[in-house]
């Protein structure tokens, strides 16, 4: 246990303690942080940008979950089949997993560019400014994030679906259950824990990752896509207000930890038991 605890202490607990400490200081990167009491916290409570960016984070979180989960599950279950054509198609479909975030962001900004992008050469699509329209851009970003992350979650569902014993389906077929009944009565309940894992990853991911948005829109136009983690980054490494950025980081830390606890608790994930035969 001790080596694990050492690693956990140095790489997980210590940074968290430090960020909480920093949130009570003023620090512009020079010299040592000076204590500022609750200054950063009262500012965070009054800063409309904090509330706005948190709401936006939640919008992306919900939008991401609602769109990505069904797609990832359907493709995952489909790809779990052993047919050769499925193997070929799914390996093509998993390509985004192999691309770096920077490559994905640059690719899509080239495709969607309002002046010289691919979409400007196509009929109908050329009337939209995908990255420039302040309301449309939210859906554009959600689309790119879906494209980026669905393959990963698909992998989760695929491997889980492959773990379901064929004998259950055979028994169901003998009992006269059709395809849809089999999906909703067998596959879906047995994928329950994968669904929870995938959900926790998506929820926590949306309060911590901002790299795609940073490179695709840089939070713009204006602040239309400036989600809370990106606001934290801009405050810390653009404005060099490390104390205030740490206060935002603590809010995100609490939010992320709370969400994953809530999901695991509400779904009974902690009382995890195998639902499969023979184990």
Partner 1 sequence: MSPRRLTKVAVSATTLALLGSMAACGSDNTAGGSGGGEGGGTADVWALQDTTLNPIEEASIQRYNDGDGPGSVKLSTFGNDPYKQRLRTAINSPQAPDVFFNWGGGSLKEYVDAGKIEDLTPILDADPALRDAFLPSVLAGAEIDGKQYGLPMRGVQPVLMYGNKEVLTANGIDGMPATWDELLADVATLKAAGLTTPIALAGSQSWTELMWAEYLLDRVAGPEVFQAIRDGEGQGWNDPAVLEAMTMLKQLIDAGAFGTANDFSATEYDAGGTTQLLANGDAAFHLMGSWEFTNQKGTNPDFVSAGNLLYAPFPAVEGGAGDPSNLVGNVSNFYSVTSASPNKQAALEYVKTQLNNPDYVSELIAAGDVMPIAGAREQLAATEDGDYLTTVYDLTENASNFQLSWDQDLSADEATKMLTELSNLFLGVQTPEGFVAAMAG
- Give the residues lining the site for partner 1 (CB under 8 A): 2-3, 6-7, 10, 28-31, 109, 113-116, 129-134, 137, 217-218, 220-223, 234-235, 237-241
DSSP 82: -
Q: Is 223 within 8 Å of 52 (Cβ atoms)? A: yes
Q: Which is nearer to partner 1, 96 or 114 (CB)?
A: 114
Q: Which is nearer to partner 1, 44 or 164 (CB)?
A: 44
The minimum distance between CB 276 and partner 1, in angstroms, equals 34
Measured distance CA(167)–CA(112) in Å, rounded: 48
| C-alpha Rg value of the chain to the nearest Å | 22
Residue 26 bridge partners (DSSP): 34
The minimum distance between CB 142 and partner 1, in angstroms, equals 16
The minimum distance between CB 211 and partner 1, in angstroms, equals 13
Measured distance CA(244)–CA(232) in Å, rounded: 8
Angle (nearest 5°) at CA 8 between 4 and 12: 165
Q: What Cα–Cα distance (Å) separates residue 198 from each residue in 154, 245, 253? A: 9, 28, 19
The minimum distance between CB 124 and partner 1, in angstroms, equals 16
The minimum distance between CB 240 and partner 1, in angstroms, equals 4
Q: Which is nearer to partner 1, 141 or 156 (CB)?
A: 141
Q: Which is nearer to partner 1, 47 or 267 (CB)?
A: 47
Q: Which is nearer to partner 1, 81 or 114 (CB)?
A: 114
- SS3 per-residue string spanning 157-185: HHHHHHCCCHHHHHHHHHCCCCHHHHHHH
Q: Which is nearer to partner 1, 8 or 184 (CB)?
A: 8
The minimum distance between CB 269 and partner 1, in angstroms, equals 31
Q: How many residues does the chain have?
A: 279
Q: What Cα–Cα distance (Å) separates residue 104 from each residue in 121, 215, 262? A: 20, 9, 32
């Amino acid at each position: 246990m001790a080596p694990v605890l050492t690693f956990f202490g140095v790489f997980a607990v210590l940074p968290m303690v430090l960020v909480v400490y920093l949130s009570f200081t003023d620090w512009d990167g020079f010299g040592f942080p000076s204590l500022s009491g609750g200054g950063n916290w009262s500012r965070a409570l009054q800063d409309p940008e904090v509330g706005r960016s948190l709401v936006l984070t939640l919008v992306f979180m919900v939008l991401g979950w609602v769109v990505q989960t069904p797609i990832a599950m359907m493709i995952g279950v489909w790809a779990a089949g052993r047919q050769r054509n499925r193997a070929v198609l799914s390996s093509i479909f998993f390509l985004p997993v192999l691309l770096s975030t920077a490559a994905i962001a640059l690719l899509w900004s080239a495709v969607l560019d309002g002046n010289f992008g691919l979409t400007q050469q196509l009929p109908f699509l050329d009337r939209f400014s995908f990255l420039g329209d302040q309301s449309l851009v939210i859906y554009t970003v959600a689309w790119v994030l879906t494209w980026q992350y669905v393959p990963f979650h698909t992998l989760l569902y695929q491997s889980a679906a492959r773990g379901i014993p064929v004998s259950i389906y055979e028994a169901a077929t003998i009992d006269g259950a059709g395809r849809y009944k089999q999906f909703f009565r067998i596959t879906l309940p047995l994928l329950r824990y994968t669904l929870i894992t995938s959900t926790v990853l998506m929820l926590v991911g949306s309060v911590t990752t901002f790299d795609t948005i940073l490179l695709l829109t840089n939070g713009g136009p204006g602040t239309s896509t400036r989600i809370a983690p990106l606001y934290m980054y801009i405050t810390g490494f653009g404005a060099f207000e490390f104390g205030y950025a740490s206060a935002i980081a603590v809010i995100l830390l609490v939010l992320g930890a709370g969400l994953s606890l809530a999901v695991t608790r509400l779904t009974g994930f902690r009382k995890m038991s195998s639902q499969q035969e023979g184990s």
